[in-house]
Each structure stands twice: as C-alpha cells, then as structure tokens.
C-alpha cells in the first residue's frame, strides 16, 4: 500500500479547497477507509484530515431540533445527554455499534458516507426524519437523509463536497421508535437484516398519524419501506394491521443471497423484525407523555 500524502486543514474552506483536487480523499475516523486502502479498493494520493476542524464536531440543540456534527464519534452519541433526550433510538443503536474501540474512532458522518447497505446509524436517522447538511465548492445545501444514499457505497455527495452535520427534528408528542438487528452477534458483526420503525399516534393513542419503517442489508441502500408505511397511516394500529405492514415491508425489500444469508431467509426475517419493532414502537408511543 502506497503511503499517501496528508493535509490537515484547520478550516472548512481550506478542506473544501483541498478536496477539489483529483486523488484527494477525506479522512475522518478511518475505520472503513484504512481497510479499503489495504485491499486496494481505494488508493488516494492525498488524505485530507478533517479532525482538526472544530465546526464539524459536537452536538447542539435549537428550538428542540438536534444538530450533530459529522465528525462526532459514535461514542459521543452515548456520552451526550442531548442524544438520549432528543433521539433516544439513535443512542440505542450506537450502544451496539461495533466495539468500544471502534466507537471511539468511527464518526457518524463516516458511517453514513461509507453508504453500506447495512449501515447501522442510517436506520434510526431514516425513521427520525433526519436531514443531512452538505458543504462544497458551490456552497451549502441540505436534503432528507432518504435522498442521500444512491447505491452501494455511493451517496449524493458531489466532487469536493463533504457531509458537515445531521439535523434531527424535535420528537413529536405521542411518538415512539424501536429497532432490531439480526446477526451472529449483537455487536462486532454486520447485520443479516436491520430494521427500525417510528410511530406517531393520534390523540386517542389508537390511530396512526405517521409511520416510518427503515430496512438495512436487504437492498443496495438503507431504505424506507414506504408501501408498508402507507398500510399503517390513518388507521387503528391493530395486530392484524401490523402483520399486514410487516408483510408489505418484506415484499418491497430487495435482498440478495450471499455467504451470510439467503434472500428467502432475509425476506422472512424482515417480516418478523418489522412486526416486532412496530409493536415495541407502539408500546413506547402509548407510554410517552405529551411534552
């Protein structure tokens, strides 16, 4: 492996200028980048170290919304009370993310930009209606996170752009969210299937006013199961309706067979896990007190 040169900008503008040059690659936690460099999948001429840019790290809250800098380590999602209060599902997923050593290095932005179909942090962000903030040579822009993933290891980032932050809106009243991950081990393993869901209830706590279901490792991208969401919205959340939504989620998934699991097994497990997380999300939403 050829050792690339290293640039260490201290401002976002300097980093963006550097990244416009051919052969440059941004460096964050490097937990995905270094293995890819060792296999020759990525061979950068220059690494642009983003770690010394303060504006890319940290958590803030504004009018109830939570903003997370892209260079915030996964471990930081567990230490900061703002995440536990404003996006507890994200903290739950971060708790089972890899190992303590990797959590201290890996960043939330790096996990999203790697754009693996099984990306752990993508699923809670999809069901929490997160938006991503992007900076580049032509200025800043933002988009819903469900528009960010474009294919296996491909995102909406253009040449010279970097992900700067993730914004999560204030949690609605009478809402609940849950997740489940199927793998050989609880952590330190890629998921065969990952599922997350959130529900927002009407005042009677019976009808669904909004639903989000996200699936991982069963399509080229972490995906929203929109047909399954439509099954739930505006209706009373009975067990039969939840079963119908789970079947719809399995039907719209696009799993493949690989060394880890067959597509038939994955599809069957989608229905099982979606049913499970919807029931848990419903339980949490009914328990939630209006804020």
The domain limits of the chain are: 5-47, 57-168, 175-287
Residue 5: count other Cβ atoms within 10 Å of its Cβ: 11
Q: Collect all residues with Cβ–Cβ distance below 8 Å to 129 and sequence separation of at least 6.
A: 144, 168, 169, 212
Write out pLDDT tens, residues 140-157. 999 999 999 999 999 999
Percent of the chain surpassing pLDDT 90 = 90
Task: Please tell me which residue, 132 or 34, carries the higher pLDDT value.
Answer: 132
pLDDT, position 263: 97
How far is the C-alpha of 223 from the C-alpha of 212, rounded, in Å?
11
**Smallest Cα–Cα separation from 109: which of 137, 79, 143, 134?**
134
Q: Collect all residues with Cβ–Cβ distance below 8 Å to 35 and sequence separation of at least 6.
A: none
pLDDT band, very low/low/confident/very high, at 1 (cuts 50, 70, 90): low
- Mean pLDDT confidence for 215-221: 97
Given a cut of 50, whether residue 111 has pLDDT beyond it is yes
| pTM over the 0.85 mark | yes
CATH hierarchy code of domain 175-287? 3.30.390.50
Given a cut of 60, whether residue 26 has pLDDT beyond it is yes
Quick check: 59 and 76 in contact, CB under 8 A?
Answer: yes
How far is the C-alpha of 236 from the C-alpha of 64, rounded, in Å?
29
Write out pLDDT tens, residues 115-132. 999 999 999 999 999 999
Q: Collect all residues with Cβ–Cβ distance below 8 Å to 158 and sequence separation of at least 6.
A: 136
Owner of token pair 């903290």:
91
Q: Collect all residues with Cβ–Cβ distance below 8 Å to 246 and sequence separation of at least 6.
A: 228, 270, 271, 272, 274, 275, 278
Percent of the chain surpassing pLDDT 70 = 97
Q: Per-residue DSSP letters for 226-247?
A: HHHHHHHTTSB--HHHHHHHHH
Task: Please tell me which residue, 260 or 117, carries the higher pLDDT value.
Answer: 117
CATH hierarchy code of domain 57-168? 3.30.465.10
- Mean pLDDT confidence for 227-244: 98
**Smallest Cα–Cα separation from 92: which of 115, 124, 118, 65?**
124
Quick check: 127 and 196 in contact, CB under 8 A?
Answer: yes
pLDDT band, very low/low/confident/very high, at 2 (cuts 50, 70, 90): confident
How far is the C-alpha of 129 from the C-alpha of 149, rounded, in Å?
14
* Helix intervals (H) in 87-225: 88-95, 100-105, 108-114, 122-127
Write out pLDDT tens, residues 82-100. 999 999 999 999 999 988 9
Given a cut of 80, whether residue 188 has pLDDT beyond it is no
Given a cut of 70, whether residue 192 has pLDDT beyond it is yes
Given a cut of 70, whether residue 291 has pLDDT beyond it is no
């Amino acid at each position: 492996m050829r050792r690339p040169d290293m640039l260490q900008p201290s401002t976002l503008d300097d980093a963006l200028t550097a990244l416009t040059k051919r052969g440059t690659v941004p460096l964050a936690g490097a937990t995905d980048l270094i293995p890819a460099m060792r296999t020759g999948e990525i061979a950068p001429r220059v690494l642009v170290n983003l770690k010394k840019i303060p504006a890319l790290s940290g958590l803030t809250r504004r009018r109830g919304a939570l903003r997370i800098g892209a260079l915030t380590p996964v471990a930081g999602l567990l230490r900061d009370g703002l995440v536990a209060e404003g996006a507890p599902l994200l903290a739950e997923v971060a708790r089972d993310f890899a190992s303590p050593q990797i959590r201290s290095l890996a960043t939330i932005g790096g996990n999203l930009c790697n754009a693996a179909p099984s990306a752990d942090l993508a699923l809670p962000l999809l069901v929490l209606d997160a938006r991503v903030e992007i900076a580049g040579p032509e200025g800043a822009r933002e988009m819903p996170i469900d528009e960010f993933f474009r294919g296996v290891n491909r995102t909406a980032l253009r040449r010279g752009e970097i992900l700067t932050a993730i914004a999560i809106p204030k949690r609605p009243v009478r809402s609940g969210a849950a997740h489940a991950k199927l793998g050989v081990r609880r952590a330190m393993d890629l998921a065969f299937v990952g599922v997350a869901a959130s529900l927002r209830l009407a005042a009677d706590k019976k009808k669904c006013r909004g639903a989000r279901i996200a699936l991982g490792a069963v399509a080229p991208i972490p995906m929203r199961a929109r047909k399954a969401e439509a099954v739930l919205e505006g209706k009373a959340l009975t067990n039969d309706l939840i079963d119908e939504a789970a079947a719809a989620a399995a039907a719209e998934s696009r799993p493949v067979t690989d060394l880890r699991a067959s597509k038939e097994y994955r599809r069957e497990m989608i229905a099982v896990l979606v049913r499970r997380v919807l029931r848990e999300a419903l339980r949490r939403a009914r328990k939630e007190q209006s804020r």
